[in-house]
Amino acid sequence: MLTHLRLSVPDRPGILARVTAVLADAGADIKSIAVLERVADRAVDDIYVVWPHTQTGDLVDRLTEIRGVRVLGTRPSQQVPGAFPDLDLLTHVLGTGARGLDTLVDMAVPAFGADWAARISYAGGAPEVAYWSGTALDDVVVPHVRVVRATAFEQDGAQLVAVPLDPFEAALVCGRGSTPAFHRVEVERIGRVTTLAAGLVRPVGAVSSPR
């Protein structure tokens, strides 16, 4: 099973070698490693591994035995290391015409590392789920606040990121049922890709809502 690990580690020589050695010793097959940020002598790393078990407790225990390593979250992943999910998403949206927004929601789940995604409509005033993908409707969390830019937050125990869909009186909301939370680097990327995708299906003559 492809598993996503997010770690906060001391930003010093040799620490990544120790992490990878522990993962290999535990039987995890490392597929990719990416540094999300470096701040105040620490780094946040995303590591994708193939792990033959459904539970990650053993991995977490082994990693936290390394001095200074903190596990920020683990989760199953649909993302394929080395692929280009952003381009795949935009290509599919472009090719589906009037269904472009629904395609955006469908593709957002694997592309953005979410458990589910939904298009929340504000056309009638009160927010309502217009379309969803990746889960049962009962799992979809409708944000209490309408966002004006890509924003990550926690609500009702879920990790969310919401992006306005101008000019459709709607928002794309992606959710994870567990940690890790959406990192600011992920939020910026999701915001840019979603805005591009919405532009591909924008009605002729439409303009963005004023900020």
> Is the confidence at residue 41, as pLDDT, over 70?
yes
pLDDT digits (tens, 9 = 90+) for 110-132: 999 999 999 999 998 899 999 99
Look at residues 49, 76, 103 and tell me which one is the last residue of a structural domain: 76
Contact by Cβ (8 Å): 149, 179: no
Identify the CATH number of the domain in which residue 51 sits. Answer: 3.30.70.260
Q: How confident is the model at residue 193 (pLDDT cuts 50, 70, 90)?
A: very high
Give the total number of structural domains in the chain.
Answer: 2
| 128 and 166 share one domain | yes
Does 18 fall in a domain?
A: yes
Task: Give the strand order in the sheet containing 128-133.
Answer: 128-133, 116-121, 170-176, 158-165, 151-155
Contact by Cβ (8 Å): 209, 149: no
| 72 and 127 share one domain | no
| 104 and 177 share one domain | yes
The alpha carbon torsion through 36, 38, 44, 45 (nearest 10 deg) reads 60
| 95 and 114 share one domain | yes
Look at residues 31, 55, 76 and tell me which one is the last residue of a structural domain: 76
Residue bearing tokens 């830019």:
149
103: containing domain: 85-200
Does 66 fall in a domain?
A: yes
| 130 and 192 share one domain | yes
Higher pLDDT: 80 or 118? It is 118
Q: Which residues, 6 or more positions from 26, have their beta carbon under 8 angstroms from its beta carbon?
A: 58, 59, 62
pLDDT digits (tens, 9 = 90+) for 172-190: 999 999 889 999 999 999 9
Task: Pick the closest to residue 7 from 87, 85, 62 (CA basis).
Answer: 62
